[in-house]
Amino acid sequence: MEREGRLTKRCCFGLLLHWSRAYAGFAIVVGAFLPEGTAHATSVLIPSNFAHDSASSSSTTAPAPAAAMDIARSFHMNDGENATSYAKNSALQKGIIGMTNHITMELLKDLYMKTESEKMVIADLGCSSGPNSLSVVRDMVKTVADTCRENKPMPEFLIFLNDLPSNDFNSLFKSLPDFYTQMMGTPLILSIAACPGSFYGRLFPTQFLNFVYSSNSLHWLSKARLNDEKGNSINKGNIHIAGNSPKQVAEAYTDQFREDFPKFLMLRAEEIVVGGRMVLIFNGRAGPDHFDRGFSLLWSLLSQSLIIMASQGDVDIEKLDSFDAHYYGPCKNEVEEEVKKQRSFELDRFEVIESNIGVNNCIAVSNGIRAIQENLIREHFGGNINIDKLFELFRNLLIEEAKKEAIKTVHFIVALRRKEM
């Protein structure tokens, strides 16, 4: 045994195969970073899912329409750690995680006190990249470890980090050595695995997960369908629900939410053990009106920025008309209604959090939205689009709005418990 606190790297290779009625996949052990001394072993598992589980899947078994596959391929946060990366521009998401972290840890601690399992299997769905993902994992492990010192023996941890295959998993896993160093002094067995695939498809074996966590992800729909029978846009000049959008636009977004969210609940109900917990943190809206001075206003300002660029010949107006954001912020009643209808989960807790966008944080908001949307915008409008100009226009419009009145955004934290059916 080497000196306590020293981190050594050991590589090993293996293959774990599993098969399910709803999905097929495998996990390859590609490398293990083993902190010796206080930590027994940790390993890095990279699963690969071969099911039709892109973000646009319309069912767990049927292939998705070819046109909708672009979301799975193109929708990911800006890679790396440069000035426009998500890693450098996710402070607002970190703030939401911080505001809700005590609830997440309280529910995880309660779950472990009531479970008899010697293993704790946790999934972070929509983990993205950057520092936020592993900070939550660190807090989860330490919360359980502190509980174990007081009451129970330490479980083995298996943590799955899930996102679309286009996510920057490389950057995420490059940060593991620093993560392991932070965990030194905690005697544990911890395996961290990447699980690429859409959470609107089946991801895990039946009755496999103890705890599911998802932050800043479930407001993204599997797709946005805003065309009439002839394939023409029903929301011309807008990329989301706007004040001048026809009522059919809000109806289309609502219908897609009513398709996606119940599917998400149904799939997780199959994967979570009875009594298991799920904590979902995502954007919402304050009331039944689909357009307000919240997130919908931000989409409207981005639409206006694209219209200005189209008027100056920088953007094709037809491409603007065909660009639809696959985003929906539900109201509280919509979420509660779908949970009740699905029937697999008990709603333990529902918190509504409001935050303000003022003049002082408009730059951070603009940079954050760019880090999220840039790849989709380039894919749709062409790689030559002047992204710097687009988000300069957006930032200026956002500042003007914030000068009039603070923009109020709404976030939900929904805690669910798997029922015994």
Q: Which residues contact 45 (CB under 8 A, 6 or more apart)?
A: 16, 27, 28, 29, 30, 191, 192, 193, 194
Task: HSE, CB side, 13 Å, CA atoms: give it for residue 125.
Answer: 29
Q: Which residues contact 312 (CB under 8 A, 6 or more apart)?
A: none
Burial bucket for residue 150 (CB in 10 Å: 0-12, 13-18, 19+): exposed
Q: What are the Cα distances from residue 264, in Å, to 53, 99, 249, 318, 339?
A: 12, 24, 23, 33, 10
Chain position carrying tokens 């988000």: 391
Q: Which residue from 114, 188, 122, 211 is spatially nearest to 158, judged by alpha carbons?
A: 122
Fold topology of 1-217: Rossmann fold (3.40.50)
Chain position carrying tokens 């779908």: 338
Q: Please list the ranges in the chain whose pLDDT falls under 50.
A: 1-69
Instruction: Return d(Cα 376, Cα 77) in angstroms, integer.
Output: 9
DSSP assignment of 32-82 equals EEEE-SS--EEEEEEEEE-SS--TT-SSSSSPPPGGGGHHHHH--PPPSSS
Distance of CA 1 to the CA centre of its chain: 40
Instruction: Return d(Cα 279, Cα 309) in angstroms, integer.
Output: 40
Q: What is the pLDDT of residue 183?
A: 85
Give the number of other CB atoms < 10 A from CB of residue 19.
9
Q: What is the pLDDT of residue 121?
A: 97
Q: What is the pLDDT of residue 192?
A: 94
- Dihedrals φ, ψ of 72, to 5°? -65, -35
Question: CB–CB of 320/306 below 8 Å?
Answer: yes
Could you state, in order of their start, the residue ranges of all structural domains in the chain? 1-217
Q: How far apart are the first and last CA of the chain?
A: 48
Q: What is the pLDDT of residue 150?
A: 66
Q: What is the pLDDT of residue 264?
A: 98
Residue type, 406: A
Q: What is the pLDDT of residue 70?
A: 60
Positive or negative, the CA dihedral 193, 30, 128, 163 is negative
